[in-house]
A and B are shown apart, each in its own frame.
Chain A
Amino acid sequence: MSHEREDSPYLVFGDFGLFLLQALDEDGISTNENWLRPSFQVIDEMLTSADPEVANLIQVGVLEVLADHPEALRLVKINLSGPGQEKFEDWIRSSQQI
């Protein structure tokens, strides 16, 4: 873990992002793995949250960690809900714009 504090959500999600990236980068990973499904659900719920801080946390904490890995991003996207995919596309568009 990269932190020793319980009040550091960005570091907690950063560790989650790095862990997820490692798993998604592995050859032959199945997105049907038991633990992956709830991970995608968490990303989906946070991305579509009405609370901007929650959406920011998943964008900065997790999606930015995956941002330079197109295959990992693709796997995340296809496992999101419709609204989740829209928010995901919004984030991609604004991050590519910059």
Chain B
Amino acid sequence: MQLILWENERLLNELKRKWFREWLEDRVRRRPYADTIILFGPITGLGRALGPAPKVLQLGTARMNLLNAIQNPTLRRLVEYSYRVGARIGNGSTADAIRFERETGILLSRTGHMQKGREVLSSLEALFRSNKLNSKDAQIVRELIYDLKDALK
């Protein structure tokens, strides 16, 4: 009986994940700069922050591309923490985890990722205000803030 329930739950979650993927694609189609999906996955426009990059970097994950571009160690650590290497939801970011939880009602952890998102956002805003960033890092932070605010709104 338990196995049947688990299997049903798995199938339901699979359907929700498929629906979420379509929902993300639909949102991206309606947004400008959709070409940046290749660089950073759905939703974010982070590709604009990097300028031209070697093709090999463009094939990497959002996390890898960001870490290759970032100079500031605090920002690097925030990205290491906010983007999962092998996540299956969106581009692996906390922002996409929040979007998934809000749109599907499935929590990816006991109480979800909203609070983590708020704290990362707050830290990014403080970092941006600190004026310690070079122009490229500042642009990346602006895009990350925009992405998280979009997920949390």
Contacts and interface: CB of A to CB of B under 8 A. Distances in A.
Interface residues of A, number: 29
Interface string B74-96: 10011011001110110000000
A97 B120 contact: no
Nearest to A59: B109
A79 B120 CA distance: 30
Interface size class of B (residues with CB under 8 A): 20 to 34
Interface in B1-27: 9-10, 13, 17
B88 A11 contact: no
B126 A10 contact: no
Interface of A: 1-5, 8-11, 14-15, 17-18, 52-53, 55-56, 59-61, 64-65, 67-68, 91, 94-95, 97-98
Interface of B: 9-10, 13, 17, 74, 77-78, 80-81, 84-86, 88-89, 106, 108-113, 115-116, 119-120, 122-123, 126
**4 cross-chain pairs, A with B, having the tightest CB-CB distances, nearest first:** A2-B77, A56-B110, A14-B81, A68-B85
